Every structure is written in C-alpha cells, then in structure tokens.
Amino acid sequence: MSCSLHNKIYHINDKEFFIKKTIINNHFFNKISSSIISIIIQKDYLYYAYNNGQISKLNIKLGKICWTNNINHQLISGICVKDNYIATITKDGYLFILDINGKIIWKKNINSSSNYIPIIHNDLVIIRTDNNKLKAFSIINKKLIWNIYSPLFDFNIKEETYFCCHNDLLIASIPDKKIIIIDLKHGNTIWDYSVPVKEGYDDIERINNVYSFHVINNILYIVSYNGDLLAIDLINQFKKIWHNSLNLTIKHLLVENKNLYITDQNNIIRCFNSNNCELLWKYENFCNKNINKPICIKNYLLVSDNKGYIYLLNKYSGTMYGNIKLNHYNNSFTLINDNSFIINSNNRKLSLVEIKNFL
C-alpha cells in the first residue's frame, strides 16, 4: 500500500459530515522532486504524470500502484488516456504512445515543442504544436493523416482550453481571435467564428482571444479573454443560440448541464443559466483570495484557495455554507463522482477525498 489515511468529522452550519482523506502517492513523495502536471480519472483508475517523465497508474479503490514507467524525457503539458492508449508530448518534441499497461508502443519526433496535451479519437492522435500546427497521426502506425497551419501572432493570451473532440469534429481556438471546427477524417475546416475585437488604448484591452470552450449536450459554449460568452448549436448548422458581452477578464469557466460558472480576474464568481445566459447569482467575497477553478459535487460548488481551505457554496443560489481546512497548500481538484474528488497540492502530494453524509 502506498497511501495514508486521515479521517475527520467536520461541522458546517451545525451539520455533521465525515471526510476521509487518503494520501495516495505517499510512496513516491520523498523520492521525487518533480511536480504532478496531469491527472486523468478512468473508471476505478487514476493516471498521473510528473514533469520528469514518470507516468503512474493507481487503483483508486485499493490505493495500490498498478505500474510506473519513466519515459526519460521531460514533460511540460500532460497525458491523454483513452481507448487503451496513453499519449503525451515531451519537452524536446517527441510524441509518445503507450499502451494501457505503460509500455511504449512508438515515439515520433514532431519537430516542434508543444505545451498542449494530445487528443486520442478513434484511431487518431491529434496534436497542437507551439508553432501553431494541428496534426493528426494514425495511432496504429504513426503515419501523418493531415496537417493544418494557422499564422502566429506576436501578442497572444494562453488559453485555458486549447482543442477538443466532439463526435467526429475537432474544435480548436487559434490566435487570430477565432474558433474553428474541423472534420476529423479529412482535416477540413467546416466552420469558424471570429470573436469581435474590443476597443481600447492598449493591446491588453483590445485582445479578445478565445480563452476557453466546452461542449455539453451538443452545445458549444465559448468564452473569450475579455468576457464574450457565446452558445453554438453543433447539430443545427452551428446556429448561434445566444451571445453576451460581460466586459470583464475571465479566469475560469465551469460548465454544467444547466449552469455556467465564470470566475473573473477579481475572483468574483458568477452563475449563468446555460439556456439563455441569464445571470442567476454573483458571489464577491473571494476578492482578497487567490482561488482555483471550482468543481460541482451534488448541489454544491467547491472552491479552493492557496492556503489549503475549501469553501462550500450552494451552486443554485450562491449561498456560502462555510469552509474546511484540509492542508496548508494550494490545491486543485479533479472530480471522480458525486462523493469524491482528487486534490493535487503544490507539496507534490495527491489526496483522495471522500465525503459521507454530505450536508
């Protein structure tokens, strides 16, 4: 076993609930000075990668490491796990494909660095390079299937979401304030949208690059760096459902079936109805805190800060219930199910948090 347990009863608003926190990578903690850069949950297994090239698979229920492999190349983006394959790109520009047991199948020099996690879709692995090329390779024989190039721009904001697959479409943002949709089979662009350019005195005020996008129930939700929100119907000829200009700088976007949760640069959280972009509530008491991207568990929005606190809000009303201090570190979340999530702390420890009798 490579885990340690911490069980505790917490009280919030006179209600009692039980938290079980399991440190699941304790075995490696004193042996690895690298940081965890990627966490993937698949069924009962957790895959995680360090920037020194080590990739591990862990059985979440048993708390046991299934395997660990170091590909001996530095990683700067992360890993993709899908369809019995693992894909990653190294700092020195190699695309690696591993099987689900951690064995290297092949590697290929892509002649460029990449800060972007690859995507696996059917028999393709799709990559985005730092010189702004989109490439699709056969995951079977590493043959190049198609290649798309977009011009580079001198001034650009790094996005939160870079590209994703939906059905047989590839959705990607490119630096000239556009989002494009590509036919995955042939690499043809079948739709694009240019975000309106803002007026302003300097480059920061005018820049309006696509910052993040998510697909829920065949609806594409797009948010730009300067606060334009857009919903596109992916099955009805890419028809625009609604558009709203918030005139604020975006920090995080979380999309659920019914709600959109936007965090701005002042750590103000706003909740919008995903059907019509109506503002449902706004929470402003995080302005003096450095908060991370929230997650939803059951009826609650969980928010963490850089001092180890987790805050619980009602996700429908924005009402604050209280907070829990789980450690002394900056934490980010990866959701597993309605009762549990993974905490990745900047002390290099991974913790599984299970919540019983949750409020």
Distance between CA atoms of residues 72 and 166, nearest Å: 32
- pLDDT (tens, 9 = 90+) of the chain, 359 residues, equals 334 445 555 555 555 555 666 666 555 444 555 788 888 998 889 999 999 999 999 888 887 889 999 999 999 889 999 999 999 999 999 999 999 999 999 999 998 888 889 999 999 999 998 887 899 999 999 999 999 876 654 444 455 557 889 999 999 887 666 788 999 999 999 998 887 655 554 544 445 567 788 999 999 998 887 888 999 999 999 999 999 988 888 889 999 878 999 999 999 999 999 999 999 999 999 988 889 899 998 888 999 888 888 898 999 999 998 888 877 666 777 877 777 888 777 656 777 777 765 55
**Other beta carbons less than 10 A from residue 203's beta carbon:** 10
Query: Which residue has 């190349």 as its token pair?
Result: 73
In the β-sheet with 75-82, what is the strand arrangement from edge to edge? 75-82, 85-90, 94-99, 104-109
Distance between CA atoms of residues 240 and 85, nearest Å: 35
Q: Domain 36-149 falls in which CATH fold?
A: Lipocalin (2.40.128)
pLDDT at 4: 42
**Other beta carbons less than 10 A from residue 143's beta carbon:** 10
Closest CA to 139 of 156, 123, 161: 123
Measured in degrees and rounded to the nearest 5, phi and psi for residue 181 equal -120, 130
DSSP class of residue 327?
-
Closest CA to 138 of 127, 151, 149, 129: 127
For residue 49, how many C-alpha atoms fall within 13 Å in the half-sphere facing its CB? Answer: 26
Residue 341 CB partners (closer than 8 Å, separation 6+):
295, 297, 302, 333, 334, 335, 352, 353
**Other beta carbons less than 10 A from residue 95's beta carbon:** 21
**Other beta carbons less than 10 A from residue 313's beta carbon:** 25
Enter the tokens of residue 44. 């009962």
pLDDT at 155: 42
Enter the tokens of residue 211. 């910052």
DSSP states along 215-252: EETTEEEEEETT-EEEEEETTTTTEEEEEEE--S-EEE
Residues 89-125 have pLDDT tens digits of 999 999 999 999 999 999 999 988 888 899 999 999 9
Where exactly are the structural domains of the chain?
36-149
Residue 173 CB partners (closer than 8 Å, separation 6+):
159, 161, 162, 163, 179, 180, 209, 210, 213
The greatest distance separating any two alpha carbons of the chain, rounded to the nearest whole angstrom, comes to: 61
Enter the tokens of residue 242. 């609604």
Distance between CA atoms of residues 170 and 135, nearest Å: 11
What global pTM score does this model have? 0.84
Angle at Cα 172 formed by Cα 338 and Cα 53, nearest 5°?
A: 65
The 3 state secondary structure assigned to 142-168 is: CCEEEEEECCCCCCCCCCCCCEEEECC
pLDDT at 169: 94
Enter the tokens of residue 79. 């890993």
Segments in 77-154 forming alpha helices (H) = none
